[in-house]
Amino acid sequence: MSGTGPCHVCERPASLPVPGGLFSCAGCAARLGTLLLAGDPGVSRLWPALLEEEEPGPEPLVHLKDGRKVPLRDRTAALKAELDWPARTRLSAVYVEMGLLREAVLEAAGVLGATPDEALSGQALAVLFSPPLAPADPSALRDLLRPH
């Protein structure tokens, strides 16, 4: 998984391998992450996992050491804020193994949007573009990401 080729989106020289024999430049990878996190409807459509309904019913509560009860979601967010980007990248792959596909997409998107580290961006792209998350039609990204 090395080498370079034209970026799938902007056609500038690119070195981030995307599963399927494509390449992405760092700028387009970061733009993909940012748009996914922002809930951009066009880009989100390519990752149907993002459209999954959240579990119905009330959010479970967890007890903190100081006796407070907080929603599990808030506690998870606080824990994730303490992780570094390599750990967040691994977490996205773990979410895939756990079947938490929506979380996996958002975690990988967060890595792409936030870190300029090429190795981590490459791993995040591998999560997004490998089964079961891989978009059915990655070529649609070209129009969606190209600056208008």
Distance CA 27, CA 46 (A): 19
Instruction: For residue 40, give both structure tokens.
Output: 């951009």
Taking CB under 5 A as the criterion, which residues in 22-61 touch Zn ion? 25, 28
| Closest distance to Zn ion from the beta carbon of 145 (Å) | 8
If one asks whether residue 7 binds Zn ion (CB under 5 A), the answer comes out as yes
If one asks whether residue 9 binds Zn ion (CB under 5 A), the answer comes out as yes
| Closest distance to Zn ion from the beta carbon of 97 (Å) | 30
Name the one range near Zn ion by CB under 5 A: 21-29, 54-62, 67-75, 103-111. 21-29
Residues with Cβ within 8 Å of residue 138, at least 6 apart in sequence: 8, 18, 20, 22, 46, 129
Enumerate binding residues for Zn ion (CB under 5 A).
7, 9-10, 25, 28
